[in-house]
Amino acid sequence: MGNHNIYQEPLVSRYTDKVMQQIFSDDFKFSTWRKCWIALAEAQMKIGLPQVKQAMIDEMIIAQKKIDYDVAKAKEKEIRHDVMAHVFEFGTHCPTAKGIIHLGATSMFVCCNTELIQIREALKLVKAGLVSTINNLAKFAEEHASLVTLGYTHYQPAQPTTVGKRTVLYIQNLLFDLKQVDAVESSLKARGVKGTVGTQASYLELFDGDYGKVKQLDDLVSKKLGFSGSFPVTGQTYSRKLDSFIAKTLAGIAESAHKFAVDMRLLSNLKVMEEPFAKSQTGSSAMAYKRNPMRSERMTALCRKLINLQLDLSHTHANQWFERTLDDSSLRRMSIPQMFLLANAVLKLYQNITDGVIVYPAQVKRHLDNELPFMATEAVLMELCKQGEDRQKMHEIIKKHSVEAAKTVKLEGKRNDLFQRLADDPEIPVTESFLNQFLENPERFAGAASLQTKEFLKNIVQPVLEKYSDLVGEADSEINV
């Protein structure tokens, strides 16, 4: 039960997974700060710093999960410094070790390293959501690889494609996003131990100017925190360029999801496809018959927020002066959790929708049949030319009747009677049965759509799903409301 007397963040109360919420929780953050302090002390002792003893480390390990938030809050109010407030609070549980907690470190030692750990763990959830969505779409594309449907350009009828071919376009977008997530993950390192402005001056003092030991300390701490190593150089913080890179990657996922969601909304209006509809779901408070694409609409809105959020991180990086300014702090405190929560919310919806998309083949055929006579005219013209008819004369006759048939559809609301008009015209040697044969096999007008779909799934998508098979189904797709 939530606290109904204060504002509740909808990303937490309505849209996201507990696992993603926990990564950005106070418990995760502050227990990871302590993990950083323990890793630092362990590495300092291993390299031979005499002030640090095993008993101190043992004491810190036992107290890692004991956080008295009231003590920390009171101390922060007194000294106006969150890191030093928690150094003090941790020390209340570690009387022997309190003198060596945070030894040689600056605040960004715990802040940056913890944020990088949060980012690392959050990206794993994002990747699982991406892969699971791709898997859903791949199954759907395979099932409907050959289902011919009307293709659109400018949201006007163009030429036939297949439902599967359109679906692999969505998959291709997500594969771009997956590559970007991989690129972010491969770029992630620890901040390590770099000192106040990144020069490691305090650690050189501790180790009597021995740079080799300082480098060893940096490497040891980074590996204890689960990284392969640390960024070779930093200012006071790791470069905020990384935050911007991550924000753009997550915004890219939002772009891909937004495109799918809008298409679903348009197809829903055409009654060609629909998102899953719960048995007891109410579409409208007034119109009982309505089946609104509510999940796709929500996904559109959340994507819009995530796409716009990247600008905050871009401006923050661009405005960092010299080794660091503090105008990054309050914004990142909101924006980094929000961008991951938004990505989680978007991918939950994307998975949920693609796990149960409904297709109406009869409606697909109806829309196709309404336009197919127009689209078949080129094939009819080519067939007449093969029979020795004058191309220009046949083209003019077909064009005249196409214009008239279109008027009948638009002005009178009648069916497309183009083929009837052509069959009734003595100047063009065709019969209605001859013309109707072009409508009996709509696949001929969809080109290689079915083949392209199957090739793409086999050659491009399947290897990716095999590579990440452990992630398929790992992300939660249940939506709360």
> 146-156 pLDDT, tens per residue?
999 999 999 98
Residue 442, domain member (yes or no): yes
Q: Assess whether 187 carries a catalytic annotation.
A: no
Q: Which of 4, 154, 280, 285 is catalytic?
A: 154
Helix and strand element counts for the chain (H, E): 19, 4
The answer to whether position 239 is within a domain reads: no
Average pLDDT over residues 66-87: 95
Name the least confident of 94-108, 322-336, 401-415: 401-415
Active site residue 280: no
d(CA 423, CA 380): 12
At position 202, the amino acid (one-letter code) is S
Q: How far is CA 405 from the centre of its chain?
A: 45
Residue 93 lies in a domain: yes
Q: What domain range is 414 assigned to?
A: 363-446
Residue 17 placed within a domain: yes
- 127, 175 contact by CB (below 8 A): no
pLDDT digits (tens, 9 = 90+) for 222-236: 999 999 999 999 999
pTM of the model: 0.91
**Residue 169 counted as domain residue:** no
Domain boundary (233, 252, 285) is at 233
pLDDT by residue (tens digit) across 115-129? 999 999 999 999 999
3-state secondary structure of 147: coil
Asked if residue 103 has pLDDT above 50, the reply is yes
Dihedral (CA of 157, 159, 164, 165) sign: negative
Is there a domain that residue 397 lies in? yes
Residue 371, domain member (yes or no): yes
Residue 377's CATH number:
1.10.40.30
Final residue before a domain boundary, out of 208, 233, 258: 233
Model confidence at 439, pLDDT cuts 50, 70, 90, reads: confident
Give me the mean pLDDT over the 183-195 stretch.
96
Task: Determine the residue type at 433.
Answer: S
Number of structural domains, the chain?
2
**Any idea what the CATH number is for the domain that residue 197 is in?**
1.10.275.10
**Structural domain includes residue 309:** no
Q: Active site residue: 13, 187, 228, 284, which one?
A: 284
pLDDT at residue 279 greater than cutoff 60: no
